[in-house]
Structure 1
Amino acid sequence: MSIPLLREQVIEALDRSSSIPLKDKISILQTFASTLKEPVTIEQSREILSIAPLGLFYYGFSMEDENLTNVLCEIISKILGPFNYRDINSNENKSFLLEGLTHYNPQIRLLSIQQVNSETFMHVITTLSFQDTKPAQKASELLYKITLTHQDAIFSPTACSIIKQLLRVSETVKFRIYDLVIKVASSSNHAFELCESTGLLHEFINELRSNDLLVKMNAIELLNEIAATPSGIIFLERANLVDDMSAILDNEDEDDVVVCLVKCSIIKFIGNLGENKQVPFQQLSNQYGILNRLETCLDSKNDQILTVTISSIGLIGSHLLGLILVWPLSSKLCELYPSTVGSVKAVLLQTLSKLIGVRDEPVNESDRLTLQIFNEFDGFPNKIIREAKQPEDDIRIASLALMQSIAYHTWGIKYMAQSSVFMQYLLDRTTDRIQQGQMWKYTIIQTIVSHPNSKEILEVDDYNQCQTYIKQGPFYKPLETTVAFESIKAIHQFLNKIKYQTEIKHSSRYLSQYGVLQKRSLAGTGASATVKVIQDHRRNIYAVKVFHKNINKDKLLKKKLMSEYCISSVLNHPNIINTVDLVIDNKHRYCIVMEYCSGGDLYSWIKEGKLVHLKDINNLFKQLLQGLSYLHNLGVAHRDIKPENLLIQPTNRRHYQLKITDFGEADVFRELWQAEGRLSDGVCGSIPYMAPEVFSQMSYNASQADVWSAAIVYSCMRLNGVPFFCAKETDPNFRLYQAQYTKRRYPAFDILDKDSQDMLYDMLNPNPEKRFTIQDVLKLTWVANV
């Protein structure tokens, strides 16, 4: 068959509308591949590409046939062989190259990696030696990702030669390379064998045998990853490293700081080995006397060595196989407990919580060993409650963790049920004022109630109280009746004072002093009030929030009215509505008088399509952030941020001022003299703008809920609608958002610029603790420049 005819058949076979059977297509392409004798000249390649564009060959990958993919990769590789990287990275081929580098098929990705060529790949390797950490780190990450799918790339003779030269640049570069090599070697057994065959692992071994103890210590830190693989364990034994490191534990010169640090590194390494269930730790321990040496370390007078030894015993004993091994050491741990203080005591309690928390199969064996350790500890309930009340956070939290470990077991719940002192402590919410401690107690009670036998074991009252505790959430605060009564009483007295002043003709308490309500002036309406417009004789215009008359019969509504007025009347900021007065109208309705904004609310602007320019949108949004920043600095959360509560006041042509209004749901979460704020309660706000934690029926950080609402408002301004209707699992769009959050690929945000997307994802983090604060948003470069 002539070459021209064969090329015509190739074009026909790859044509999208071709009816040629797949088997025949593969045959034609295999014949064509065999005619391309390597090395293909650049003239041949250009001639082929002039009649058969590269896209034609790449289209064949969409058929997802292994044989077709293999032959296409062979053809493309031969055709592109003569071209340099600059040609391959041209606009014509760049999209194919990027697609190939991210393709799931290993052959297609290999093809693209080969196209990148040594010219670029070797530059990536040499970037590991950069003095600046950022580019070096990026190069390391890229090389690691490449080796996950194409392990031979970094192990070619040229690449290995360059890497070995870089080892001599500096200590920093050397350990940067070792870090990469260890990661690669730990990724699979095949990768480990490749690393070993290049000699790079043996270079690393020399560092472990260095006379410089600090170098040795850094090398030991890197060993943790490699020891997690079966090949790694074999290699460690073959290189006699376990024996060498175990012997260092016999060094009694603990006054030498470096010796102490190296011993601690080795003990940590041993702990990580023992924690890994895949490692034959019992065999290693028997062979090298590891546990005997750890027992000797428990007698150390050096707190650092003692602490890390106790911690490593906890890691080894965190599963049943390890617990069986370290169980003989548990009595020594319990003997140490009375004499420990500070961080040593905290770590000892953490280790006991790990050992007692084991519940692997067979359960009867786990229960037997954990109960014996519990009895040896002999600190329930008095000792453990005493430690849980300590001012030191580490000891208190470790004690609570130990309580939870006890609650995992049937025997543990029985001990708890028999102790009225313990149950009283656990159910008393006043014993822990710190949020972390409150969360731990809540988790302990959840663990108890979720045990299948808890209802039968606990007293009826205790069980019911536990159920109530869970329903109320971890941060529930019982209402203080006296304070609440006094608060409502004070509000009642204040409002009666206003009413009395109107009855004795105090004109200063009548709405009429501000003029006459304008006819047909309804500016807004809500569940408890309507907003109207009033104008005085000087033609000053005010907005008036007129509360419904039946508010007099509802104490909670009265409290809400007073709260709104007291909060809003003391605020003074350009982006907060100015509250003027609280008065009564001629129908004896309470009225809050406010400044009037002629521009209407933001909701109307969005609905009417007035927000055309991105500059205007960003300007209004920054004003919203500045208003919220002012509120949060004062310890006030709005809790109902939405476009309807954001008013716009035109200042001059093309300039507008945004003002936050309606403080009916506002909450003071921190008084000015307080360093720490409190959590808020209650579901409030408008559903599309409410943060997910507000729906949870638990206490929440109200200022962080404001951040979420502000982000939804910005989405509305940019997208002319909310990104999802409700931040609950029942909303399919919110479920999609959660699923795509870590990848940051929510479809609704794809049309936005990168800066806006990043900001929205940071403000709409489902975890309020990791969510941006208002100050974080204001610090963004592009926001600061608005």
Structure 2
Amino acid sequence: MATVDKICRLLDALPASNEPLSVLEELKLLIFATPPSSLKDVVPNVSFGSVFDCLNTDDGELLQVSCDVLGRLLDGLNPQAIYINFQSEMKRGLAHPLKPVKLLALSMLTRCGEACPDDLAHNEDLLLTTTQLLADDSLEVAKAASQALLQLGKTKEGLHAIYHGQVFSRLQEVLEKNDTCRYRVFKFVVDVCKLSPLGLEHSCQSGLLTQIINDLYKDDILVQLNCLELLTDLASVQHGLHYLDQQGVISKLENMMGKMDEDPMGSLLLPGLIKVFGNIARFHPKEVFEKYPTFMSLVFDLLSSSDVTLKAVAVETIGFVGREMEGKQALEKLGDTMNKAVRQLGVIIKDSPADIRVKALHAFAALMTLELADQTTELLALTESWFQHMAPKPFEVLMSLSRQPFPDLRCATHSVYQALALQVWGQKLMNSDPGFKEYLLDRTTEHEKEGKEAKFETVRMLAESPTTKETLGRPFYISVKEYYNEGPFYVKAQTEVAIEGGS
């Protein structure tokens, strides 16, 4: 009760105070020191309209503290209570000229939308103002407005509110304002499509989804790149991919990819095209490899490209596709073509600029990763085979990278060690290398936080593996467990011995 009384006292004192900032700062300290669970018992019993009144100021510091206090107090209310009691405050906040207040109002609106989207769907005034904020000068505000409106996309009534009547008209007005606003609206439409097949259906019927697809065929490279990014996002969900396939969009993308040599601007568009197919292949590798052979053929060719950007995209795509078990199985069917690709990854890992070597190491780690639940005899043989194809002496390559003076390169190498640590054949390689055990237990090889954490993750994998003790020996296993228990940043205490001598 003492907390409630003190909060009430400060709120009562606020309207008449000559120093509202001082009162609000004291209030902020008090409510942020109160656990959220306790605050939920306090907030319904206090009135904080006076804090909302403090938003009518040009004083930036006062405004920010007021928003901080309101945000914390409102967190203590359930969304239905916010919607019932603070609709006018939300409306004023959405129309406020300053960003902190808009963001506070949008946060309130998002919570209301999550809890009661159908109620919000009938509040046209709030929705129109929120839709207009998609065109706000602040990207942060525009994203928050999109997130608030997106809650409506989860229900039939909400979808009807978005795509019919004045809200849809306002959406079109924002879209036509400029190219930036156009793609904010398009991004929102794709996000609605991803929520459900019903969301996709409404978006399609509105004509906006068709507009997005039509942009793909415009003779403007920037427009095409933006469109590809949106289509990649849409293809990440099953019903989105099915729609694009049904509309013939995927086939057209493959045709574009196959004709890049004829297009002088093709190299700019190609990374986006590859990302579309890479994203699809991550979830449906078998289907992509069978229906769109141009994709992987081009990716493998680009591993030898002189264009560093295209080579990097190809490297990342192979890792992206080969991370999951289904992707590995699809890549295995490519036979020697895949073996050659792994060898090319090895060349990149050994003899390329540092940034692309890091990407290649992460991609190779993805190919090597095989969770315990997926470790069949066939897949273990596959990952071991790919490892041996990477270089004539692949583990020596990794150990040489572990000694490089570049932290990001050493961290990336640990991502490969972590994949090997889960597999018995990988542990055997670690055991047979004359310097690996000593290197792994030596804490002095890493000085940065990232490096210490990367090495610790390798240690953790071995400490938790059920086969480490048998494969690498009990003494090493005990040392690994000790390292693990001490944590990544343990420093051994140095004992100073004072020696008193005399002549």
State TM-score, norm by structure 2: 0.70
Distance change in 2, residues 1:428/1:130 (3 Å)? closer
1:145 — aligned with what?
151
Candidates 346, 361, 379, aligned match of 1:349? 361
Distance change in 2, residues 1:124/1:186 (3 Å)? same
Task: Name the CA distance, whole Å, in 2 between partners of 1:87 and 1:213.
Answer: 44
Matched residue type, 2:470: E
1:505 — aligned with what?
none
Cα-to-partner distance string for 1:20-64 (whole Å, 9 max, x where unaligned): xxxxxxxxxxxxxxxxxxxxxxxxxxxxxxxxxxxxxxxxxxxxx
Query: Tell me, what secondary structure is at the counterpart of 2:258?
Result: coil
Q: Does 1:306 align with 2:311?
A: yes
Cα-to-partner distance string for 1:459-481 (whole Å, 9 max, x where unaligned): 23222221222233222233455
Cα-to-partner distance string for 1:79-123 (whole Å, 9 max, x where unaligned): xxxxxx979999xxxxxxx999838775xx524531x2x344223
2:399 — aligned with what?
385
2:453 — aligned with what?
439
Distance change in 2, residues 1:157/1:390 (3 Å)? same
Aligned partners of 2:114 and 2:151 also within 8 Å: no
1:333 — aligned with what?
342
2:222 — aligned with what?
214
Aligned partners of 1:310 and 1:348 also within 8 Å: yes
1:457 — aligned with what?
471
Matched residue type, 1:121: L
Q: By how many angstroms is 1:320 displaced?
A: 1.0
Query: Tell me, what secondary structure is at the counterpart of 2:177?
Result: coil
Query: Tell me, what secondary structure is at the counterpart of 2:380?
Result: helix
Cα-to-partner distance string for 1:401-435 (whole Å, 9 max, x where unaligned): 11111111111112212223211221222222222
Q: By how many angstroms is 1:356 displaced?
A: 0.3
1:10 — aligned with what?
none
Aligned partners of 1:220 and 1:269 also within 8 Å: yes
Query: Tell me, what secondary structure is at the counterpart of 1:228?
Result: coil
Q: By how many angstroms is 1:183 displaced?
A: 0.6
- State how 1:9-28 maps to structure 2 within 5 Å: none
2:388 — aligned with what?
375
Distance change in 2, residues 1:333/1:457 (3 Å)? closer
Query: Tell me, what secondary structure is at the counterpart of 1:420?
Result: coil
Distance change in 2, residues 1:362/1:189 (3 Å)? farther
Q: By how many angstroms is 1:156 displaced?
A: 1.2
2:428 — aligned with what?
414
2:112 — aligned with what?
102
| Seq. identity, % | 22
Q: Does 1:296 align with 2:301?
A: yes
- State how 1:625-774 maps to structure 2 within 5 Å: none
Q: Does 1:226 align with 2:230?
A: no
2:208 — aligned with what?
200
- CA RMSD in angstroms comes to 3.0
Aligned partners of 2:345 and 2:364 also within 8 Å: no
Look at both structures and tell me which one has the larger radius of gyration over its CA atoms. 1
How many residue pairs were aligned?
Answer: 389
Task: Name the CA distance, whole Å, in 2 between partners of 1:425 and 1:467.
Answer: 16
Distance change in 2, residues 1:425/1:132 (3 Å)? closer
Candidates 185, 189, 193, aligned match of 2:193? 185
Q: Does 1:264 align with 2:271?
A: yes
Candidates 179, 183, 195, aligned match of 1:171? 179
Q: By how many angstroms is 1:200 displaced?
A: 0.9
Cα-to-partner distance string for 1:357-400 (whole Å, 9 max, x where unaligned): 12353532321211111111244432101112222233221111
Aligned partners of 2:421 and 2:458 also within 8 Å: yes
Aligned partners of 2:112 and 2:120 also within 8 Å: no
Matched residue type, 1:263: L
Matched residue type, 2:356: V
Task: Name the CA distance, whole Å, in 1 between partners of 2:404 and 2:171.
Answer: 53
1:285 — aligned with what?
289
Task: Name the CA distance, whole Å, in 2 between partners of 1:175 and 1:122.
Answer: 19
Distance change in 2, residues 1:100/1:431 (3 Å)? closer
Q: Does 1:430 align with 2:444?
A: yes
Cα-to-partner distance string for 1:421-450 (whole Å, 9 max, x where unaligned): 211221222222222222222221221121
- State how 1:80-119 maps to structure 2 within 5 Å: 102=112, 109-114=117-122, 116=123, 118-119=124-125
Cα-to-partner distance string for 1:246-285 (whole Å, 9 max, x where unaligned): 23333455996x533321122223222222x3xx332133
Matched residue type, 1:141: Q
Aligned partners of 1:254 and 1:260 also within 8 Å: no
Task: Name the CA distance, whole Å, in 1 between partners of 2:444 and 2:237.
Answer: 48
Task: Name the CA distance, whole Å, in 2 between partners of 1:100 and 1:299.
Answer: 48
- State how 1:389-538 maps to structure 2 within 5 Å: 389-480=403-494, 484-485=496-497, 488=498
Task: Name the CA distance, whole Å, in 2 between partners of 1:174 and 1:387.
Answer: 46
Aligned partners of 2:315 and 2:345 also within 8 Å: no
- State how 1:66-81 maps to structure 2 within 5 Å: none
Task: Name the CA distance, whole Å, in 1 between partners of 2:115 and 2:322.
Answer: 42
Matched residue type, 1:287: K
Q: By how many angstroms is 1:131 displaced?
A: 3.7
Q: Does 1:130 align with 2:139?
A: no
Distance change in 2, residues 1:139/1:436 (3 Å)? closer
Query: Tell me, what secondary structure is at the counterpart of 2:159?
Result: coil
Q: Identify which of structures 1 and 2 has the higher relative contact order when contacts are C-alpha pairs closer than 8 Å and 6+ apart.
A: 2
Query: Tell me, what secondary structure is at the counterpart of 1:209?
Result: coil
1:732 — aligned with what?
none
Structure having the larger proportion of residues in helix:
2
Query: Tell me, what secondary structure is at the counterpart of 2:435?
Result: helix
Distance change in 2, residues 1:245/1:271 (3 Å)? same
Distance change in 2, residues 1:261/1:395 (3 Å)? farther
Task: Name the CA distance, whole Å, in 1 between partners of 2:467 and 2:354.
Answer: 37
Task: Name the CA distance, whole Å, in 1 between partners of 2:395 and 2:303.
Answer: 26
Task: Name the CA distance, whole Å, in 1 between partners of 2:147 and 2:442.
Answer: 50
Query: Tell me, what secondary structure is at the counterpart of 1:152?
Result: helix
Q: By how many angstroms is 1:199 displaced?
A: 1.1
Aligned partners of 1:189 and 1:229 also within 8 Å: no
Q: By how many angstroms is 1:332 displaced?
A: 2.0
Cα-to-partner distance string for 1:293-338 (whole Å, 9 max, x where unaligned): 2222223210110011110110100011101222442432323423
Cα-to-partner distance string for 1:575-599 (whole Å, 9 max, x where unaligned): xxxxxxxxxxxxxxxxxxxxxxxxx
Task: Name the CA distance, whole Å, in 2 between partners of 1:89 and 1:423.
Answer: 63
Matched residue type, 1:316: V
Query: Tell me, what secondary structure is at the counterpart of 2:211?
Result: helix
State TM-score, norm by structure 1: 0.46
Q: By how many angstroms is 1:456 displaced?
A: 1.5
Distance change in 2, residues 1:358/1:101 (3 Å)? closer
- State how 1:54-73 maps to structure 2 within 5 Å: none
Aligned partners of 1:331 and 1:373 also within 8 Å: no
Task: Name the CA distance, whole Å, in 2 between partners of 1:393 and 1:351.
Answer: 18
Matched residue type, 1:348: A
